[in-house]
Structure 1
Amino acid sequence: MNTVTRPRILVVGAGFAGVECVRRLERKLSPDEADVTLVTPFAYQLYLPLLPQVASGVLTPQSIAVSLRRSKKYRTRIIPGGAIGVDLKSKVCVIRTITDQIVNEPYDYIVLAPGSITRTFDIPGLTDHAFGMKTLAEAAYVRDHVISQLDLADASQDPDERASRLQFVVVGGGYAGTETAACLQRLTHAAVKRYPRLDPGLIKWHLIDIAPKLMPELGEKLGSSAQEILRRRGIEISLGVSIAKAGPEEVTFTDGRVIPTRTLIWTAGVVASPLIATLGAETVKGRLAVAPELKLPGDDGVFALGDSAAVPDLAKGDGAMCPPTAQHAQRQGRHVADNVIASLRGGPLKPYVHKDLGLVVDLGGTDAVSKPLGIELRGLPAQAVARGYHWSALRTNVAKTRVMTNWLLNAVAGDDFVRTGFQTGKAARLKDFEYTDAYLTPEQVRAHIEGAGRQG
Structure 2
Amino acid sequence: MTRPRILVVGAGFAGVACVRRLERRLSPDEAEIALVTPQSYQLYLPLLPQVASGVLTPQSVALSLRRSEKYRTRIIPGRAVGVDPKAKVCVVRTITDRVVDEPYDYIVLAPGSITRTFDIPGLTDHAFGLKTLAEAAYIRDHVITQLDLADASDDPAERAARLQFVVVGGGYAGTETAACLQRLTHAAVKRYPRIDPSLIKWHLIDIAPRLMPELGERLGRAAQDDLRRRGIEISLGVSIAKAGPEEVTFTNGRVVPTHTLIWTAGVVASPLVSTLGAETVKGRLAVTAEMCVPGFDGVFALGDSAAVPDLAKGDGAVCPPTAQHAMRQGKRVAENVIAALRNQPMRPYEHRDLGLVVDLGGADAVAKPLGVELHGVAAQAVARGYHLAAMRTHVAKTRVMTNWMLNALAGDDFVRTGFQARRPTRLKDFEDTDVYLSPEEVRRHVERAAAGPAA
Q: TM-score per shorter chain, which class?
A: over 0.9
Please say if 1:370 is aligned against 2:367: yes
Q: Is the 1:293–1:339 Cα contact (8 Å) retained in structure 2?
A: yes
1:426: Cα distance to partner? 4.8
Q: Is the 1:49–1:176 Cα contact (8 Å) retained in structure 2?
A: yes
Q: Rate the CA distance shift 1:42–1:426 in 2: closer, same or farther, 3 A.
A: farther
Query: 1:8 maps to which residue?
Result: 5
Alignment of structure 1 residues 41-440 onto 2, 5 Å: 41-440=38-437
Rounded to whole Å, the distance in 1 between the matches of 2:216 and 2:11 is: 32
What amino acid does structure 2 have at the position aligned with 1:147?
A: I
Q: TM-score, normalised by structure 2?
A: 0.99
1:415: Cα distance to partner? 2.4
Q: Is the 2:137–2:419 Cα contact (8 Å) retained in structure 1?
A: no
Farther off after superposition, 65-74 or 51-60: 65-74
Q: Percent identity?
A: 82
CA displacement 1:3-25 (0-9 Å, x = unmatched): xx110000000000000000000
CA displacement 1:117-162 (0-9 Å, x = unmatched): 0000000000000001000000000000000100000000000000
Rounded to whole Å, the distance in 2 between the matches of 1:55 and 1:141 is: 8
Query: 1:30 maps to which residue?
Result: 27
1:435: Cα distance to partner? 1.5
Q: Is the 2:63–2:396 Cα contact (8 Å) retained in structure 1?
A: yes
Rounded to whole Å, the distance in 2 between the matches of 1:182 and 1:221 is: 19
Rounded to whole Å, the distance in 2 between the matches of 1:414 and 1:431 is: 33
Rounded to whole Å, the distance in 1 between the matches of 2:420 and 2:447 is: 41
SS class of match (2:166): strand
Rounded to whole Å, the distance in 2 between the matches of 1:416 and 1:367 is: 22
Q: Is the 1:111–1:302 Cα contact (8 Å) retained in structure 2?
A: yes
Rounded to whole Å, the distance in 2 between the matches of 1:319 and 1:83 is: 30
Alignment of structure 1 residues 436-451 onto 2, 5 Å: 436-451=433-448
CA displacement 1:410-442 (0-9 Å, x = unmatched): 111122211111342354211101221100000
SS class of match (1:9): strand
CA displacement 1:247-267 (0-9 Å, x = unmatched): 000000000000000000000
Rounded to whole Å, the distance in 1 between the matches of 2:33 and 2:350 is: 26
CA displacement 1:314-365 (0-9 Å, x = unmatched): 0000111100000000000000000000000000010100000000000000
Q: Is the 1:57–1:416 Cα contact (8 Å) retained in structure 2?
A: no
Rounded to whole Å, the distance in 2 between the matches of 1:241 and 1:415 is: 33
Moved over 6 A (4+): none
Rounded to whole Å, the distance in 1 between the matches of 2:422 and 2:298 is: 46
1:299: Cα distance to partner? 1.8
Rounded to whole Å, the distance in 1 between the matches of 2:51 and 2:434 is: 28
SS class of match (1:138): helix
CA displacement 1:29-57 (0-9 Å, x = unmatched): 00000000000000000000000000000
Rounded to whole Å, the distance in 2 between the matches of 1:251 and 1:138 is: 20
Farther off after superposition, 152-161 or 422-431: 422-431
1:297: Cα distance to partner? 1.2
Q: Is the 1:218–1:371 Cα contact (8 Å) retained in structure 2?
A: yes
Please say if 1:453 is aligned against 2:453: no
- Where structure 1 has 5 or more consecutive residues not aligned to the other structure, the ranges are none
Q: How many residues align?
A: 453
Q: Is the 2:8–2:109 Cα contact (8 Å) retained in structure 1?
A: yes
Q: Is the 1:124–1:244 Cα contact (8 Å) retained in structure 2?
A: yes
Q: Is the 2:85–2:297 Cα contact (8 Å) retained in structure 1?
A: no
Rounded to whole Å, the distance in 1 between the matches of 2:420 and 2:240 is: 26
What amino acid does structure 1 have at the position aligned with 2:76?
A: I
